[in-house]
Structure formats: structure tokens, C-alpha cells
Amino acid sequence: MGAARRNSRRRSRRPLQVGASPSVAQASHEPSAGGPTPASAYSAAGPAVSLGSAIQRADAGSGDRMIRVPPDGVVHPIAAQLNRPGTHFRVPNFADLQAAYTDKKLAIPESVFQARVGQLLGRMRRDKIGIVDLKGNPITRLKTLDDVPTILAKIFPAPGVIDQVEFENAVDVTNRRRIYATVLDAQTTVKPADQPKLKTTMKDAADLITTVQGDAAGLTAVFGTRAADAKKNYGAARTALLDIAKDLDKHVTTDYNLDDPEVNLGGWANFAGKHMHLLAEIVLVTDPNESKTTLIHEAAHLSDPSVDDHGYYGTPNFEALPESIKVSNAGHYEELPKRVLKTSSYVGETFTPGKLKGGGAVTWEDTIKRSASEYLRQAWDAAVDTHTFIRGVRKSALGGSKSPFTSNVALIKEISKLMDLTIHEQDPANAQVTTLDVTLTESIAHGVGIIGGLADGETVTKPAGPFKTQADEDAAARNAVIDAATARYGRLLGAPARDRKLLDWLVAHYRNLP
Ligand SMILES: [Zn+2]
């Protein structure tokens, strides 16, 4: 898929939203094509696992009495999920890493290469998976308890030397959630064997839409005076969904390389192209309710070009937004289906502009929270686009085409500098996107997703003035929330000014990347 073709495409995303439904089915998240299950990574915890109740799932299918936790992404935007086990970063497979390291034409300086690998290992270490071993040590995405400099010294014992055994001591290389296998699997058609169940679920979702279209009181409760518009959009969404179900090869892509859970991506849709991209576990219908809800969200984007993303389900002020925003926000089309599925977070609520769940008025603090949430949603969306773009350039190069690189070289180097990739440090004559760079952009997108979740849990405070305008004061308050969440995460780039520069760059490039 050439990068240039995506240029005109407008994407609307939906983050992963596991956790809303208590279904036990959520436990089996590992796609059939995803290689080894993460069982080995978790079983190391033995009987001493201690999980928060919100994340504990019995894995009925594993047969080895292991507590298995949902391995997918952050539950955006619930800050309490900070340490949930779904967060993870990956490193390149050893062969790819070694190839880039020893490539004399690329000539990546030793110190740069080690720093980049160290960055990835540090992010994997930052990803507590919420359980402790018998000695009480938190289990992270790394196999070892060594600190990152020690790991690096072992993997790179001398200049030009990279040690596979030490690499495998640090990272569970059998786990596709630790190792980036191949960009070639990251955006593909749905396998024939997976199609029938998805088609059935699409029809079920279409039936669910029919049900909510008939719920006049519900439509008014959510969309107010725009109920008729919402009903019309539901109808168009249903038609789009049934059309798509007729030819999945043409209209649907998925990701068997598991990039999507890494970057918290549940799916995206493109109105002009009548295209839907779905997380593998949505395609595999591991949680029927979640699959139906995601399909309806994405179908809402296909109902009318006005239906975009203006705040995901459950984000600050979601229920209190103006009717004009609700009717054009895909997340709001989830509410009535969720009421039928009994997964709603707003049971029995009438959505009233300016009023929160329970009847309280939206405060200044709430507004600031929503503003920070939207900033970080846009930053995350652009970070996912950046990763998809960089990955596409790599994929094209593997297919023999360098043109996506050469025609975007200035942008790619700009991204490389902003995100601490290796491209701008390579010999310019031979520069290319390596798998190391792909995993670095993936980990940035993942980190921004985590920051978004953290921001919703931050406290808004009045910034110290004086300010010339209310807008200036609001911006300062919003920025304080973003900076606090970024600092709490701590592993974006590790320098507050650069972190902020990157986030601002991402927001400035929202829906504006190749
Ligand atoms: Zn969306």
C-alpha cells in the first residue's frame, strides 16, 4: 500500500475499549495468527499473581490454570487503567536488529544505535503488567530485572558486537507481543477462515442498528433535537455495514502483526473509500459485544462524511456535549447499542448539553479536562498515522520500491529527529527505514495513548496568572494537565521540552500526514 495513496484519505479512529464489558470472552485476545500466546510471559508469575479485580480474567481455554490478562491496549481514557497489562512495546526481531546494526552502508553510529535500543527497552520496562513475581518484583515487558544500561552492556559487549543470547535473555523472543515480526502482516485482508464469523457479526450489528433506530425515546435521550438526523445516519450506517459484509476483501483490512493493540488502535474507517480497518480481535470476534460496538462506531463514520471523532466514548464531558457535536461524533452512536448490550456507562441517562451524568453542571475544570483530552486524542491519532506511514515506507522498500522514501525524505528526517529514530543519523546516501525505526514509532504512538489515559486522571488547577485573556488562562491550565500526564508517563522522549515539542507537532499534523 503506497504511502501516496493514503494522502487524500481521511481517517477516523476508535481506540481499544476493553473493560467496558465484563464478558469472560475478553480473556482470549490472542489472535489465532498471532504466533505463540503470551502464556509463557505471564506464567512466570506462578501462583503469586496479584491482579486488580478490574483486569483479572480467567482463561478458560488455556488449560494450565494460569491467570491470563487481556493483552490489548490501554483502556482509553480511564486513568485507573494506567498499569493494566494491555500495554506493551516491542523490539525488532534479532535478525532485523543485527542487520541494521552491522549494515556498513547505513553506518548508524554505535552510540545512537545503543541509545535507540535502550529507549525501547526502557519503554518495555516502564510497561508494568500489573502483576508481581514471588519476590514481589513487578513483571514488566522484559524478562530480566537488570537495569537498561546493564542489559545494553550485555547485548553490545564490544563495538560492532551484538549478542543474540543476551538479547534473548532480556526479551522473550517467542512472544509476538515482545517482538516485531514483520511489517508485511500489519495491514492485510481478512483470512478466508475468519470471514464467516465476521460477516455474521456484521449482520448482527446491522440488526442492532435496526433495533436502536426504532427506539424513539432513546434517540431523543442521546441526541436531543437531532434525533431524526441521528436516526437517518444510523440507517446509512446499517446500509454501509451490510454492503461491506458482501465483500470483505474489498472493504476491510486487519492487522495480524498486532501493531494495532500496540498503538491502542481499535479500527478506523474511511468514508470516501468505503473502507474499514479492524483490530484482529474485532475481526476474530473474541468479544461479540465489543466487535458489534466497534463495527457500529466505524459504520457511523461511513454513514455520512460529517460523522467524525470529537471525543471517544466515556471521555470527559462525553454526555454533556452540544447536540451538534453528538450527532457528528461516532462515539455517540455507540450509546444506544451499548444500552441494548448492557455495556453502557450511562444507563438511563438523558444526555443534556452542559450537564454531566447524575445532573451536575459542567465546570471550568471539566472543560479544561475535555480540552486536554481532545489535544491528546489528536496527538495519538497523528502518532498512529506517523507509525502507519513509517511502516508503509519500510514495507514498500521491502517490496522493492524506494519512492515513498525518496518522495518524503524531508518529512521522514523531520520525524526521525523528533521521535529519536535512526534515519537522520544514517549515511544520507543509503538512508532507509529500519525495523528499529518502525518499532520506535510504534512505541511513541503507544506512549501517547498512555499519556491520553493518564491526562483524564490529572487534577485541573488554576494556573498562576496574570493572564491577558481567559483563553490564555485556559490554555495554561490545559497545558499543565498535558505536561503532568506526560511527566507521569516519563518515557516519551525523557525530556519535557522535547516531549512537548513532539506532542505539539503531532497535533499540528493531525489528519495531515501522508
Ligand atoms: Zn472514530
What's the 380 CA to ligand 1 centre distance in angstroms?
Answer: 13
Q: What cell numbers appear for 384 in the block?
A: 498512529
What's the 283 CA to ligand 1 centre distance in angstroms?
Answer: 17
What's the 329 CA to ligand 1 centre distance in angstroms?
Answer: 8
| pLDDT given at position 385 | 92
478 assigned to some structural domain:
yes
Q: Output 69 or 500, whichever has higher pLDDT.
A: 500
Domain that holds residue 264: 4-16+185-341
Which whole number is the average pLDDT over 70-85?
27
Q: Which residues contact 233 (CB under 8 A, 6 or more apart)?
A: 300, 303, 304, 307, 327, 333
| pLDDT given at position 188 | 86
pLDDT bin (cut points 50, 70, 90) of residue 77 is very low
pTM of the model: 0.80
Q: What cell numbers appear for 457 in the block?
A: 486522571
Cis peptide before 466 (omega within 30 of 0): yes
What distances in angstroms separate CA 261 from CA 31, 443, 507, one per listed residue? 11, 11, 21
Statement to judge: residues 481 and 435 lie in one domain: yes
| pLDDT given at position 48 | 22
| pLDDT tops 60 at residue 18 | no
| pLDDT given at position 93 | 87
What's the 330 CA to ligand 1 centre distance in angstroms?
Answer: 5
Give the residue ranges of DSSP H helices in 25-77.
Answer: 39-43
What's the 298 CA to ligand 1 centre distance in angstroms?
Answer: 6
What's the 309 CA to ligand 1 centre distance in angstroms?
Answer: 5
- Tens of pLDDT, residue by residue over 134-180, are 677 766 778 888 999 999 999 999 999 999 999 999 988 777 777 77
Give the residue ranges of DSSP H helices in 430-469.
Answer: 435-455
For 236-273, letters b (16+ CB in 10 Å) and e give bbbebbbebbeebeebbbbbbbbbbbbbbbbbbbbbee
Choosing from 295, 310, 341, the residue where a domain stops is: 341
Q: Which of 77-81, 164-168, 178-182, 476-480 has the lowest mean pLDDT?
A: 77-81
194 assigned to some structural domain:
yes
pLDDT bin (cut points 50, 70, 90) of residue 132 is low
| pLDDT given at position 361 | 96
| pLDDT given at position 133 | 66
> Regarding beta strands 252-255 and 179-180, do their DSSP bridges make them parallel or antiparallel, or are they unpaired?
unpaired
Question: What is the distance between the alpha carbons of residues 413 and 424, in angstroms, rounded to a whole number?
Answer: 5
Which whole number is the average pLDDT over 39-67?
21
Statement to judge: residues 168 and 189 lie in one domain: no
What's the 267 CA to ligand 1 centre distance in angstroms?
Answer: 8
- Domain tally, the chain: 3
Statement to judge: residues 337 and 193 lie in one domain: yes
Radius of gyration of the chain (CA): 23
**Sign of the alpha-carbon dihedral angle for 405, 411, 415, 421:** positive
| pLDDT tops 50 at residue 60 | no
State the virtual CA torsion across 39, 40, 45, 50 in degrees, nearest 10.
Answer: -20
| pLDDT tops 70 at residue 261 | yes
| pLDDT tops 50 at residue 75 | no
Residues above pLDDT 90, as percent of the chain: 65
Question: What is the distance between the alpha carbons of residues 240 and 299, in angstroms, rounded to a whole number?
Answer: 6
For 15, list phi and psi in degrees, rounded to 5.
-75, 165
| pLDDT given at position 14 | 60
Question: What is the residue-averaged pLDDT of the chain?
Answer: 81
What's the 399 CA to ligand 1 centre distance in angstroms?
Answer: 31
What's the 11 CA to ligand 1 centre distance in angstroms?
Answer: 8
Which whole number is the average pLDDT over 382-408?
93
For residues 27 and 60, the answer to whether their CB atoms sit within 8 Å is: yes
What's the 12 CA to ligand 1 centre distance in angstroms?
Answer: 4
For residue 22, the Cα-to-chain-centroid distance in whole angstroms is 21
Q: Which residues contact 63 (CB under 8 A, 6 or more apart)?
A: none
What's the 306 CA to ligand 1 centre distance in angstroms?
Answer: 12
Question: What is the distance between the alpha carbons of residues 57 and 172, in angstroms, rounded to a whole number?
Answer: 22
Which whole number is the average pLDDT over 351-363?
95
Q: Would residue 311 be called left, alpha or beta, if left means φ above 0 and alpha means ψ between -120 and 50 degrees? A: left
Which whole number is the average pLDDT over 34-45?
24
| pLDDT given at position 220 | 98
What's the 460 CA to ligand 1 centre distance in angstroms?
Answer: 27
Choosing from 154, 177, 200, the residue where a domain stops is: 177
The enclosing H or E element of 66 equals none
Query: For residue 193, with 0-12 CB atoms within 10 Å meaning exposed, 13-18 middle and 19 or more buried, which class applies?
Result: exposed
> Regarding beta strands 179-180 and 265-270, do their DSSP bridges make them parallel or antiparallel, or are they unpaired?
unpaired
346 assigned to some structural domain:
no
What distances in angstroms separate CA 485 from CA 458, 479, 481, one per listed residue? 7, 10, 6
75 assigned to some structural domain:
no
Q: What cell numbers appear for 408 in the block?
A: 518524503
pLDDT bin (cut points 50, 70, 90) of residue 234 is very high
Q: Which residues contact 237 (CB under 8 A, 6 or more apart)?
A: 209, 296, 299, 300, 302, 303, 333
Statement to judge: residues 401 and 445 lie in one domain: yes
| pLDDT given at position 256 | 84
Count of helices and strands (H, E) across the chain:
20, 6
What's the 363 CA to ligand 1 centre distance in angstroms?
Answer: 26
Statement to judge: residues 322 and 193 lie in one domain: yes
Statement to judge: residues 334 and 189 lie in one domain: yes
pLDDT bin (cut points 50, 70, 90) of residue 198 is very high
Give 187's DSSP letter: S
pLDDT bin (cut points 50, 70, 90) of residue 89 is low
Which whole number is the average pLDDT over 484-499?
95
Q: Taking Cα atoms as reference points, which of 165, 128, 151, 102 lies closest to residue 50? A: 128
| pLDDT given at position 263 | 83
401 assigned to some structural domain:
yes
> Regarding beta strands 265-270 and 12-15, do their DSSP bridges make them parallel or antiparallel, or are they unpaired?
antiparallel
Q: Output 130 or 88, whichever has higher pLDDT.
A: 130
Choosing from 146, 177, 208, the residue where a domain stops is: 177
Cα angle 62, 37, 196 (rounded to 5 degrees) comes to 85
pLDDT bin (cut points 50, 70, 90) of residue 108 is very high
Q: What cell numbers appear for 313 in the block?
A: 466514548
353 assigned to some structural domain:
no
Q: Which residues contact 483 (CB under 8 A, 6 or more apart)?
A: 496, 500
Q: Report the CATH number that the domain containing residue 227 is assigned in CATH.
A: 3.40.390.10
Which whole number is the average pLDDT over 439-460?
92
What's the 384 CA to ligand 1 centre distance in angstroms?
Answer: 13
Q: How many CB atoms lie within 10 A of CB 56?
A: 17
Statement to judge: residues 153 and 209 lie in one domain: no
Q: What cell numbers appear for 514 in the block?
A: 501522508
Statement to judge: residues 379 and 318 lie in one domain: no
Q: What cell numbers appear for 163 in the block?
A: 549478542
310 assigned to some structural domain:
yes
| pLDDT given at position 177 | 74
Statement to judge: residues 41 and 127 lie in one domain: yes
Statement to judge: residues 397 and 433 lie in one domain: yes
**245-248 contacts: CB < 8 A, separation 24 or more?**
245/198, 245/199, 245/202, 245/203, 245/206, 248/189, 248/190, 248/195, 248/198, 248/199
Statement to judge: residues 126 and 164 lie in one domain: yes
77 assigned to some structural domain:
no
**Sign of the alpha-carbon dihedral angle for 449, 454, 458, 463:** negative
What's the 472 CA to ligand 1 centre distance in angstroms?
Answer: 30
What's the 173 CA to ligand 1 centre distance in angstroms?
Answer: 34
DSSP state letters, 268-312: EEETTTTEEEEEHHHHTTSSHHHHHHHHHHHHHHHH-TT-B-SS-
| pLDDT tops 70 at residue 301 | yes
Question: What is the distance between the alpha carbons of residues 317 and 150, in angstroms, rounded to a whole number?
Answer: 46
| pLDDT given at position 266 | 83
For residues 434 and 424, the answer to whether their CB atoms sit within 8 Å is: no
Statement to judge: residues 299 and 371 lie in one domain: no
Q: Which residues contact 187 (CB under 8 A, 6 or more apart)?
A: 1, 253, 254, 255, 277, 388
Which whole number is the average pLDDT over 474-492?
96
